[in-house]
Amino acid sequence: MKKIFAAIGLLFLLQSAWAIDIGDAKEQGLVGEATSGYLAAVQSPASAEIRALIADVNAKRKDHFEETAQKTGVTTEQVAYRFYELAVQRTAPGHYYQDANGSWKKK
């Protein structure tokens, strides 16, 4: 029984070591900056790993947007859109972002 728990623990450690990060996902063209200010999958359907990455990043962004909106007296949507504008400016060549029409563009 102890061996099973040890094997499961090792599997979780290895899985997190192999997990894709936002930089790799952008570099591979799997995710990009959406007009909403959030990260989105460039192609559908996205893998479970990419969906989990997007959910994690977007939860953190949402918290940051809400906190910033409270501090500045603007809406969360305004903060998110400004973040999108800045993110597009900082998007590296070869990475994706959505244009004003929601189409994916490669910078």
- The residues with which 96 forms a beta bridge, in sequence order, are 32, 106
- Per-residue pLDDT tens over the stretch 27-74: 999 999 999 999 999 999 999 999 999 999 999 999 999 999 999 999
- Domain spans, the chain: 21-106
Spatial distance between the Cα atoms of 56 and 42, rounded to a whole number of angstroms = 17
Whether 84 and 37 have beta carbons less than 8 Å apart is answered as yes
Whether 42 and 96 have beta carbons less than 8 Å apart is answered as yes
pLDDT of residue 84: 96
pLDDT exceeds cutoff 50 at 13:
no
Mean per-residue pLDDT, 64-91 = 96
- Per-residue pLDDT tens over the stretch 19-30: 689 999 999 999
- Whole-model pTM over 0.85: no
